[in-house]
Amino acid sequence: MNQQEQKQQTRQQSIKTLRELIRNIKICMLTTHSSEQGLRSRPMITARHEFDGELWLFTHAADPKVKEIEQDPHVNLVYSEPREDRYISISGQAQLIQNKQKAELLWTDSLNEWFSGGPEDPSLMLICVHVKEAEYWDANVQNLSDAVRALFFTSTAPKHYKLEWSETPS
């Protein structure tokens, strides 16, 4: 296997790992950078999508985060599953997209609360985050002795992993 094939295989494994980690977590915290206010975070619903290296979010075109992304597309997404001591941090480049067909494809009923016009809402804007880096902390209990140890010792810190991430080879 040559180096390019190895990078592609590593990337696919990282995508698979990340997909499993975030599969059942619906809400993430999106952090953008505002030139006036510095870092700004807010909760967002991740669009229904089989993760392939990109994550999709919905917003209103007039929302301040749109201007922030236009000025600085570097963003961070944080997912957490506290009951399982699992925390995921994803950094990437955000791209703003207005595409009715893509919005229909990604639409979920939980978005009706924010977008009463559905996927046809003219104020709807998609945010596509192209993942550049990902890491996670996971303290899933593997066996009974770990569970007992976790009950009595607070020093059972989650294990930290940084996923190898490389751009898709050309």
* 169: in domain: no
Can you spell out the DSSP letters for 45-61?
EBPS---SSEEEEEEET
For residue 95, give the CATH number of its domain: 2.30.110.10
148: confidence class by pLDDT, cuts 50, 70, 90? very low
- At 110 the pLDDT is 85
- The tokens describing 163, both together, are 């996923």
pLDDT 10s digits, 79-128: 999 888 889 999 999 999 999 999 999 998 888 888 889 999 899 999 99
How many domains is the chain built from? 1
* 20: in domain: yes
Which domain does 30 fall in, by range? 3-163
The whole-number average pLDDT for the span 129-137 is 92
* 44: in domain: yes
Q: Could you tell me the CA-to-CA distances from 20 to 1, 25, 139, 156, 161 in Å, in that order?
A: 26, 10, 15, 23, 14
Distance CA 104, CA 58 (A): 11
Q: Could you tell me the CA-to-CA distances from 93 to 31, 58, 108, 164 in Å, in that order?
A: 12, 15, 24, 17
Q: What is the mean pLDDT of the chain?
A: 84
* 168: in domain: no
